[in-house]
Amino acid sequence: MQILSAGASSPVHPTPMNPSPLSYKDAGVDIDAGDALVERIKPLAKKTMREGVLAGIGGFGALFEVPKRYKEPVLVSGTDGVGTKLKLAFEWGMHDTVGIDLVAMSVNDVLVQGAEPLFFLDYFACGKLDVDTAAAVVGGIARGCELAGCALIGGETAEMPGMYPSGEYDLAGFAVGAVEKSKILAGQDVRDGDIVLGLASSGVHSNGFSLVRKCIERAGASQLPASLDGKPFRQAVMEPTRIYVKPVLAALAAHPGIKALAHITGGGLLENIPRVLPDGLAAHLKAGSWPRTELFAWLQATAAIDDHEMNRTFNNGIGMVVVVAPAEAAAVAAALRQQGEQVHEIGRIGPRAGGAPVTVA
């Protein structure tokens, strides 16, 4: 029997006399799981603490004091995610290193301004919180912060039923650094004849994975190589983005001849180097001046990608570019090698003369 309210033209369904109580957990949000994750995170975050942290995990806002050794500090901020590399993390159950990718993508961007990353915040969103998975991800974030020398000072975990498929999540990261105003790097001092050094990447890093996934799909599970570059295939593909912060900051402190830095992310060598070049100048890179890894060779062969597309889609083996005065090039390269970097002289700065801002020949 339908019951109509007075003057209504549509049926109104009566509320049961004794409805069963609903909780937030019934709606799909487990507060206890969230609390358990926070307790798992606290010791990880504690390991990243550094000078300047006044209050971190647990408050409504994290407090940080810019170190007093800065005379004219300028704050530099960066934000990024991990992109579709996460789809492989879900498929392969490899959650412990994508947090390093998350940190790397932001702190390397902050670094290229000449800035020291000070602190980092993360955002982890999912449909249903799996504490073990989330703890593995945040463990990677904490490890990335240790590698970058910045504090994991806060973040947000959002459990949103119906927003994400089961077993999936999304990540975003936010880094803040500081640089002396007089030492900001923006490429303004780059000159004709300067040397271009390339620091080796650790792999694909965290860009171009929509194409990587297409290559894996095209090859088929039975045709995938067992290993690449001395690592099992999946490990080679998922190798986290290299964090260049500590070696490059040490080189910057010792060598004022470093004029510009470029983080090679989306857009590859062809679209990132021009961001630090003055008008009228180009980076002329020498093809074959850095090693070709098995991973990038496999990607190129599998997808039949031409050299131009490789250089504007992937880092193609170079994760950070350093532009340096010729007189200091050898010393800077030696200093970076001492810090564990693989360094290659990959080109020179020269006139653009109406051509492309980056050439590879």
Residue 19 covered by a domain: no
Residue 334's φ and ψ, nearest 5 degrees, are -65, -40
Mean pLDDT of the residues in the chain: 92
Asked which of 183, 206, 227 is the last residue of a domain, the reply is: 183
214 shares a domain with 178: no
What pLDDT, in 10s, does the model give residues 126-153?
999 999 999 999 999 999 999 999 999 9
250 shares a domain with 106: no
154 shares a domain with 238: no
114 shares a domain with 87: yes
Q: How far is CA 342 from the centre of its chain?
A: 20
Q: Which residue has the higher pLDDT, 96 or 354?
A: 96
DSSP states along 22-49:
--TTTTT--HHHHHHHHHHHHHHHHTT-
119 shares a domain with 228: no
170 shares a domain with 137: yes
Its sign, for the CA torsion 243, 248, 250, 253, is negative
**Predicted pLDDT at 5:** 34
Kindly state the DSSP code that residue 204 receives in the 8-state scheme: S
> What's the CA gap between 145 and 319, in Å, rounded?
18
Q: Angle 245-254/98-111 helices, nearest 10 degrees?
A: 20
**Predicted pLDDT at 95:** 98
Q: What is the CATH number for 74?
A: 3.30.1330.10
* Segment 219-240 mean pLDDT: 96
293 shares a domain with 158: no
- C-alpha triplet 48, 52, 58: angle, nearest 5°: 60
Confidence category of residue 19, pLDDT binned at 50, 70, 90: confident
> What's the CA gap between 66 and 136, in Å, rounded?
30
240 shares a domain with 170: no
253 shares a domain with 149: no
Hey, how many other C-beta atoms are within 10 angstroms of the C-beta on 236? 20
Total number of domains in the chain: 2
Residue 14 covered by a domain: no
219 shares a domain with 302: yes
Q: What is the CATH number for 317?
A: 3.90.650.10
> What's the CA gap between 100 and 104, in Å, rounded?
6
**Predicted pLDDT at 14:** 57
305 shares a domain with 216: yes
**Predicted pLDDT at 84:** 97
CB 141 within 8 A of CB 46: no
Residue 113 covered by a domain: yes
Residue 314 covered by a domain: yes
Residue 52 covered by a domain: yes
Q: Coil, helix or strand for 237?
A: helix
The gap between the terminal CA atoms of the chain, to the nearest Å, is 82
Confidence category of residue 9, pLDDT binned at 50, 70, 90: very low
> What's the CA gap between 321 and 77, in Å, rounded?
20
**Predicted pLDDT at 329:** 98
Residue 210 covered by a domain: yes
Share of the chain above pLDDT 90, in %: 83
Residue 26 covered by a domain: no
What's 169-204 look like in SS3? EEEEEEEEEEEEHHHCCCCCCCCCCCEEEEEECCCC
What pLDDT, in 10s, does the model give residues 87-117?
999 999 999 999 999 999 999 999 999 999 9
336 shares a domain with 217: yes
327: domain range?
A: 195-360
Confidence category of residue 11, pLDDT binned at 50, 70, 90: low
> What's the CA gap between 209 and 206, in Å, rounded?
7
Q: Which two tokens stand for residue 266?
A: 């989306």
* Segment 226-234 mean pLDDT: 97
> What's the CA gap between 1 and 113, in Å, rounded?
72
Q: How far is CA 50 from the centre of its chain?
A: 21
Confidence category of residue 162, pLDDT binned at 50, 70, 90: very high
Confidence category of residue 21, pLDDT binned at 50, 70, 90: confident
> What's the CA gap between 339 and 337, in Å, rounded?
5
Confidence category of residue 4, pLDDT binned at 50, 70, 90: very low
Question: Does 262 score more than 90 pLDDT?
Answer: yes
Question: Does 333 score more than 60 pLDDT?
Answer: yes
Question: Does 183 score more than 60 pLDDT?
Answer: yes
Question: Does 221 score more than 80 pLDDT?
Answer: yes
Asked which of 141, 163, 183 is the last residue of a domain, the reply is: 183
> What's the CA gap between 32 and 232, in Å, rounded?
37
* pTM above threshold 0.85: yes
What pLDDT, in 10s, does the model give residues 39-86?
888 888 889 999 999 976 677 888 999 999 999 999 999 999 999 999
CB 270 within 8 A of CB 208: no
Asked which of 183, 207, 229 is the last residue of a domain, the reply is: 183
Q: Coil, helix or strand for 11?
A: coil
> What's the CA gap between 122 and 285, in Å, rounded?
36
CB 264 within 8 A of CB 318: yes
